[in-house]
């Protein structure tokens, strides 16, 4: 069972990466306009015609 000694911290580390990714997204304001984000993805104004 020695494998647990590094597998458990590894799993925790991966979880922490997810947590920090969420906190970063929150800080950069990605959750401030939930309805708008759903509609903006349909806009193609960044495509040069």
Judged by the rule CB under 8 A, the positions of this chain that interact with other proteins are 1, 4-5, 8-9, 11-12, 15-16, 18-19, 22-23, 26-27, 31-36, 39-40, 42-43, 45
CB of 41 vs other proteins, minimal distance in Å: 9
CB of 2 vs other proteins, minimal distance in Å: 10
Check: CB of residue 40 under 8 Å from CB of residue 32. no
CB of 35 vs other proteins, minimal distance in Å: 5
Helix residue ranges per DSSP H, 1-49: 4-27, 34-40
Contacts of 25 by beta carbon, 8 Å cutoff, 6+ apart: 31
């Amino acid at each position: 069972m020695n494998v647990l000694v590094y597998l458990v911290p590894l799993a925790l580390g991966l979880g922490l990466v997810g947590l920090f990714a969420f906190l970063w997204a929150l800080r950069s304001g990605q959750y401030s306009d939930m309805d708008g984000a759903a509609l903006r993805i349909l806009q193609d104004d960044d495509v040069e015609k």
